[in-house]
Structures are given as C-alpha cells and as structure tokens.
Amino acid sequence: MPDHTDVVIAGGSVAGCALAALLGRQGIRATVLEKSTKPDHYKVVCSHFIQAGATPVLQRLGVDRALEEAGAVRNGLELWTEAGWYVARGEAYGYSLRREKLDPLLRALAAGTPNVDVRPGVTVTEVLRDGAGRPCGLRGHSPAGEEVDVRARVVVGADGRGSAVARLAGIPGRVLPHGRFGYMAYYKDLPLAAPAQRSQMWLSGRDVLYAFPNDDGLTVAAMFLHKDRLPAFKADQEGEFLRAFAGLDRRPRLEDATRVSPLIGKLELPNVRGPAARPGIAFVGDAAQASDPVWGVGVGFALQSAAWLADEVAGALTAGAGVDAALERYRYRHRRQLALHHLQMSDFAGGRALNPFERMLHRAAVRDPKTAGMMHELASRGAPLDRIMRPQRLARAAVMATGR
C-alpha cells in the first residue's frame, strides 16, 4: 500500500531538508526520500560560501547560532580585477562552513521536525501521475530492492544538478555550456593578505581564483581556468594548480601551507535552468537552477528557493485548495528573483574576460564606496538583479569610473 503525505521531496540535502523543516513547522506533512543511507552524507564539491541573501533563511530555521558554534565564518569579500582591490561592503553577511558540517546539521533539523519523515536509502525511479496526468507521488526502491511508493499533493525535486525527478517527469532544463573547469583543495595554516575571515577573489583575464576562509582554520583555495588550459592541467594537475595562483597580487602562499585534501573538482560545469514549477510538481536548489559555481551561489539559492516554495504552498495545502495556483506563484517568484542573476552568470561562464561594462563597474567600486556597496548587494544575491543595478546607480558608477 502506498504512503500518503502532503509533500514528497526527492533529495535530503540543503534545499530538501530546509523545505521539509519549514513545511513541517506549519503543520504540513513532508516525506523526504534521500538516496544515501548515511546520515552524515554531504556534497563534496562546493565552495561552502553562503551568500548574505540566504542568511535570513538560516535565521528563520534557527540554525544560525548552531552554524557559528560549528565554526562557521561570517564571510565578506575582497575582490581584485585589473583596476585594483576593493571590498564589497555591506551590513549583511553570509557564512562559510564546510558541507560535511552543514548538510548533517540540516538533515538532523528536518528529521527532528514534527510532521517530517526523512527516509534514507531510497532511490527514486518514477514520478507517479493521477488519471489526469498530474504528478501525484514518487516511487523508488531501498538498497534491498524493496519498493517505496509515496503519494502526495505536491512532488518536489530537490535532487541537485541533473535532477532525476526533472528527467523522470519529462521537464528538461535549458543547458548553457561552461567555458571553464574548476578544482579546489583545503589548506591549513594558510595566511591571507586580507583581514581575518574575509574571502579573496581574483578575476584575472579569463580565469577566476579565490581563497575562502572556512571553519576549523581551513581555507578553500579554488581555481576556475579557461578550458584552453585543460591539456596542461591534465598533464600536471598539482603543478598547474600551484601555478594558477603564482602570479596573483597578494597571492595566498599555498606552498607554505599544509594541504589537507586532494584536488577536488569537475571538468564540466554546465549552467542549467528549468521551470521551477508545473502543476503538481516543483523544483528547488540546483534542481531548479544550477548556476555558475564560480560565484558560489548553490547553497544560497537552495535555501532561498526552499523558503519561497514553503511560503507559497503551505497555505494552499492547509486550505485544501489552490495548490497549483500556489505553485505558479512560486514559479513566478523564482524567475523574478533569480532568472536575471542566472543569465548574467551564464554569460560570464562562457569563459570570456570582463567586458567593458563590467570593467567600468569594478573600476568604480575601487574608487567609490557606494558602488562597492552595490557590488556587495550583487554578490549577496538577495534581490532581483534589476533592483540592484538601478539606472541611477549605474550612472553614478559610470561617472566614478572616470575618476572625476
């Protein structure tokens, strides 16, 4: 016999667990199907940089203090371009915390929330549909081959980039290629030229590099190099990783620190965006939109989209009517908040250097605190792009960039 719930969620990572906890607190029954059998399972390839735009969701979940107790760093950003250094300044802050701490913390939160059932070890194999063709549940199997059948009023894919739920439901995303490949490693005792807890980022020609302080005194050093450099990297991964940082202004001296991880990364990093919802089904996190990891937006967008979906559907599920209208409101909200950010990041992800407009903005940010504040808002991803980059702000940046 199938189980019945209000919302069935495929994926027990950041987006899925945040969504389940937010729904459960409002009296909505949520079942989370997580493929891994390990309660401490976590995503390995990640910048661990949570933008300031997602901090209100962490506070709403009540885990911000737990993150800080786990060693999370309140992050800020200092950025270098050919115009020089500037600090993206703003009152809001995000967090940097490794996923091996963040993911189990959120999974435990969801599992301990009333009305939430977290089921590990379930691989989803089918999106169930009712007589009218509307999604109405998920089917999967346990490691032992036992069938799991969960019927629900809303199906959610929170299963990451390349979502199996999207594929099974026949809802493709638009794929835009990436012109860079990315690798990272953890270092201990790596002093940075920036003040403590401030992340550094270099936009150097067609390459992007950064050093992000994290918990337990560790720093993530990462490189995103144009694919023209891929043959050399394949021939000498260790050497090319070090050489990528060698010519940077105020570079982190990786050779003087202790590397405590292997090189971790991916050769292919496509940008994917699909509809965030259709009747009966919704997507959160990377399953809805997988944007350029250069900007470390994955965790932040996962938390934000989970909160938006919970806000839109909880009332309709409680009332017992208007669920698909709520899903349509979520789809619109997701597009309004994130689509332009995604397009902007995808354009840069092709592997080009900064264009004249972008160089103007960075040059102005070096000279003008107000423009630097706008760039902080952009990096925080807490508002739609067109609300951040308003005409009067851009006009000021154009004047300030001239140095007059």
Q: What are 371-381's pLDDT values in tens digits?
A: 999 999 999 99
Statement: residue 384 has pLDDT above 80: yes
Whether the CB-CB separation of 346 and 271 falls below 8 Å is answered with: yes
Phi, psi of 12 (to 5 degrees): -110, 45
pTM score, two decimals? 0.96
pLDDT of res. 356: 97
Phi, psi of 272 (to 5 degrees): -135, 130
Q: How far apart are CA 260 and CA 202, in angstroms?
A: 23
Query: How much of the chain, in percent, has pLDDT values that exceed 70?
Result: 98
Statement: residue 196 has pLDDT above 90: no
pLDDT of res. 194: 66
Read off the pLDDT of each residue in 215-227 and give the average, rounded to a whole number.
95
If you write DSSP's letter for every residue of 208-244 in order, what string do you get? Answer: EEEEEE-GGGEEEEEEEEEGGGHHHHHH-HHHHHHHH
pLDDT of res. 61: 98
Statement: residue 80 has pLDDT above 70: yes
Distance of CA 227 to the CA centre of its chain: 23
pLDDT of res. 404: 61
Q: Kindly give, in sequence order, each residue whose CB lies less than 8 Å from that of residue 135, ignoring residues fewer than 6 positions away.
A: 127, 128, 129, 155, 169, 278, 279, 280, 281
Q: How far apart are CA 164 and CA 150, in angstroms?
A: 16
pLDDT classification of 195: cutoffs 50, 70, 90: low
Q: Kindly give, in sequence order, each residue whose CB lies less than 8 Å from that of residue 272, ignoring residues fewer than 6 positions away.
A: 161, 162, 173, 174, 175, 176, 286, 289, 290
Report which of residues 150 and 1 the model is more confident about: 150
Q: What are 2-20's pLDDT values in tens digits?
A: 699 999 999 999 999 999 9
pLDDT of res. 291: 95
pLDDT of res. 47: 82
The strand ranges marked E within 91-179 are 94-96, 116-120, 123-129, 135-141, 147-157, 174-176
Q: What are 41-59's pLDDT values in tens digits?
A: 999 888 889 999 999 999 9
